[in-house]
Amino acid sequence: MSGKTSANAWVYTDAYPQGLKQGKINIPSQDGEKVIVEVNACALNPVDIQTMNLPRKNANEKGKEWGIVCDFSGKVVHAKGFSKGDEVFGISFSAFTPLRTGTLAKVAVLDASKTCMINKPVSWTNEQASALPLVWLTAKKCVEDVKPFLTKSGRNEKRVVVLGGSSAVGIYTIILAKKLGWKVLSTSSSRNKEFLQDKLKVDQHVDYTTDDVRAKATAFKPQAVIDCVGGTECIGIPGNLRYISIVGDKTGRETMGGPYTYYDWRAPAYVISQWLRWAKGYVGLGESYDVVILDPKREWLEESTTTISPDSIYIDSVFPFEKAKEAFQRLDTGRAKGKVVIKVQ
């Protein structure tokens, strides 16, 4: 990319889907505050659509181009601590900085302070590497969060319920839980039952379309519930010590989940109920409750390279750069098993 001053990228100027379009980004001079990567592949997440749908509070934000997508793999053009040409993968939240840049671009210009990036294992393809960072780091956060509560229970057999086990985060949550020797009950539709039981080795499967999920989860007697889909069906199970969600009470895919739901007053009932539930748990009047988000810890991302084999990285589909809109449409169906990936170059 020698001599290039701009690169093709997908950007958005309005809510999804009408606001998504192709554009260009400027490639600045190299300095220590920026990471510049020639992107080979990037992976989509529901948060990408939800970010596009966030309200723009300031009039001067409307119509501006914003970069999109945070997961990536590629080759280093410039990054402190790396050599030019190093093959890397990681996650960046530069879209939420003044740079307003994403990784769905031929060249990604990223804020170094908002980017977690490491060397890509030789045995992983670029598509596999790009598929992992956000979901792995979120799953790791969930498992580390509930671990003290399973220990606190004093029971030899550790039991956890994973709601939405065939979701991308659910998959790696189950993988991590099983590596720790925990018993896992997981929910999905019937079409993913075989995948969860045969591939991920869950101890019990519940079909949320036909079964009484709360009754089955209660009978399982978990010490923790990890919710990857949203809703309130399994909150307050007798004997459960910790309930965490990466979504919150909402079940729709259009609006932002995670801790943002504590402050999204467009849905005041959710805000109030979540805060009350958190407060009750905090003072010991019920199970401990929280809505969590990933921690972009470099050491956690490094752990993925020794924990996950290439055949444990689940990709639903791969689209070319020019068909990014079709990739987002696939993501938006909510039926992808594994990650939707875009091959950039």
Range of the domain at 153: 134-291
Share of the chain above pLDDT 90, in %: 85
Q: Are residues 17 and 116 in the same domain?
A: yes
User: Do 67 and 207 sit in the same domain of this protein?
Assistant: no
- Do 142 and 209 belong together in one domain? yes
- Each residue's pLDDT tens digit, 254-309: 788 999 999 998 889 999 999 999 999 999 999 999 999 999 999 999 999 999 99
pLDDT in tens, 85-111: 999 999 999 998 989 999 999 999 999
> What's the CATH code of the domain at 274?
3.40.50.720
Q: Is residue 281 part of a domain?
A: yes
What is the domain-level CATH number for residue 21?
3.90.180.10
Entry pTM: 0.94
Query: pLDDT class for 151, splitting at 50, 70, 90?
Result: very high
What gap in Å lies between CA 136 and CA 172, rounded to an integer?
A: 6
Q: Taking 80 as the threshold, does the pLDDT of residue 57 lie above it? A: no
118 and 199, same domain (yes or no): no
In a domain, 301, yes or no: no
Say whether both 282 and 138 belong to one domain. Answer: yes
- Please tell me whether residues 126 and 183 are part of one structural domain: no
CA 48 to the chain's CA centroid = 10
In a domain, 300, yes or no: no
Q: How far is CA 310 from CA 70, 284, 297, in A?
A: 21, 43, 21
pLDDT band at 141 (very low <50, low <70, confident <90, very high): very high
Strands (E), 33-92: 34-44, 66-67, 71-78, 87-92
Counting the structural domains of the chain, the total is: 2
Give yes or no: residues 75 and 139 share one domain. no
Query: Confidence band (pLDDT; 50, 70, 90) for 62?
Result: low
